[in-house]
Amino acid sequence: MLDHNKIYNPLSNFNKAINKLSANGIRPTKQRMILAKLLFEKGKRHISAEDLFDEVREEDRKISLATIYNTLKQFTSLGLIREIVVDQNKSLYCTNKESHYHLYIEDENKVIDIPTKNIDLNIPSIPACLKLHDVDVIVRIRTLKEKYKN
Amino acid sequence: MLDHNKIYNPLSNFNKAINKLSANGIRPTKQRMILAKLLFEKGKRHISAEDLFDEVREEDRKISLATIYNTLKQFTSLGLIREIVVDQNKSLYCTNKESHYHLYIEDENKVIDIPTKNIDLNIPSIPACLKLHDVDVIVRIRTLKEKYKN
DNA sequence: TTACATGCAAAGCATTTGCAGATAA
DNA sequence: TTATCTGCAAATGCTTTGCATGTAA
């Protein structure tokens, strides 16, 4: 059921997402709507499949992990969210639609958005013909002590 | 067995690596020596565990994958190589000891080093107290066509 | 009605771990 | 000798897939 917020805010990220789904012939099923709400009605997020799975349960609903993974992949293909690979055992999904990069603090397993203007890329080695589709920048910082001596 | 190259080039990356091993009480076993040779006597490389496994076999030797993974992890802890997580199912290990960042071309599964001077990081949001141990920057570019329409 | 979605369990895959046997010092 | 290392196979953990069932249009 629609609430007033959505009725009077036709350009919300949630509504844009739903529009994009139908524009691509993808059915607005119960599961997709629940996930879209969690992703797009809570501000900018960096969230994992497992996190979403838990949030769905907290609402006393249930969506299988497989469906969550498949939906996240689909939303990513549609450009509704961005996947950030922070380490080999975890992908996070980012709902910030503005142009930005990511700062990953390994010790805390935490991701912070960095405005694009804060990083100047000067990469003459990219062939001019490459026609970039997307550029992700992950700045990974560690504060760990060295484990071995010099 | 040592060859002339090593005898007369005491500052080679290979020798530095071996020195670091013994400085940390880590035995220069047959397996570690073979891996160190492959890593440090072939110039700058971006190589996976599986790649190394294959290269060892090409020399008609055999080191188990488990040992290769463990050794790579250990060399990384020692700071001899750097791990680059290019996607969730693959880590590459980089033998370039100079300060640099990484450009990952997803379509080609290829990594190129970027000199640090080509990227200006201006990240006021990092708390000053954090005392960075290391900063990895991965610029991930895609040239794929969009799969879905707008 | 029917093409598309979902959920479950099983499969996949890179990586890690437990442990018995091997090896360096 | 003995602490460390290696190799195998099994375990792990995230993610994907096959397929039977369910559902939107």
Average pLDDT over residues B120-137: 70
- Read off the pLDDT of residues B60-90 as tens digits, 9 standing for 90 and up: 999 999 999 999 999 999 999 999 998 877 8
Cβ–Cβ gap A140/B141 under 8 Å: no
pLDDT category at B38 given cuts 50, 70, 90 is very high
Query: Tokens 């959505």 sit at which residue?
Result: A6
B38 touches strand C (CB under 7 A): no
Dihedral of CA B18/B20/B26/B31: which sign? negative
Task: Report the distance from CA of residue B81 to the C1' of nucleotide C23 in Å, as an integer.
Answer: 26
Question: From CA B101, how far away is CA B140, in angstroms rounded?
Answer: 11
Distance from CA of A60 to the nearest CA of B (A): 30
Whether CATH 1.10.10.10 fits A13-148: yes
Long-range contacts of A125-129 (CB under 8 A, 24+ apart): A125/B103, A125/B112, A125/B114, A126/B103, A126/B141
Question: From CA B61, how far away is CA B68, in angstroms rounded?
Answer: 13
> Which nucleotide shows the minimum CA-to-C1' distance to residue A70?
D16
| Lowest-confidence region among A128-137, B26-35, B44-53 | A128-137
Mutation test of the interface with chain A: which of B139, B146, B150, choosing the one with the most A Cβ atoms within 10 A?
B139
Write the DSSP assignment of B48-70 as a string of letters: -HHHHHHHHHHTT----HHHHHH
- Written as one letter, the residue type at A4 is H
Cβ–Cβ gap A89/B88 under 8 Å: yes
The four Cα atoms B12, B15, B17, B23 give a dihedral, to 10 degrees, of -140
CB pairs under 8 A between A and B: 132
pLDDT value of residue B16: 92
> Which nucleotide shows the minimum CA-to-C1' distance to residue B92?
C14
pLDDT value of residue B4: 46
- Written as one letter, the residue type at B43 is G
**10 Å Cβ neighbour count for A38?**
20
Question: From CA A113, how far away is CA A101, in angstroms rounded?
Answer: 6
Higher local confidence (pLDDT), A96 or B133: A96
Question: From CA B28, how far away is CA B18, in angstroms rounded?
Answer: 7
Cβ–Cβ gap B141/A118 under 8 Å: no
Distance from CA of A86 to the nearest CA of B (A): 8
Task: Report the distance from CA of residue B89 to the C1' of nucleotide D12 in Å, as an integer.
Answer: 14
Reference B51, options B89, B107, B93, B85; nearest CA is: B93
pLDDT value of residue B131: 60
Question: What whole-number percentage of chain B has pLDDT above 90?
Answer: 53
pLDDT value of residue A145: 43
Structure tokens at A97: 């639609």
| Lowest-confidence region among A116-120, B36-40, B65-69, B105-109 | B105-109
pLDDT value of residue A6: 46
Cβ–Cβ gap A103/B125 under 8 Å: yes
pLDDT value of residue B134: 73
Dihedral of CA A118/A124/A128/A133: which sign? negative
Query: Per-residue confidence of chain A (150 residues) as pLDDT tens digits?
Result: 444 444 455 568 899 999 999 999 999 999 999 999 999 999 999 999 999 999 999 999 999 999 999 999 999 999 999 999 988 778 999 999 888 999 888 877 889 998 888 888 877 656 655 666 678 888 888 764 444 444
pLDDT value of residue A15: 92
Smallest Cα–C1' distance to nucleotide D9: which residue has it? Answer: B66
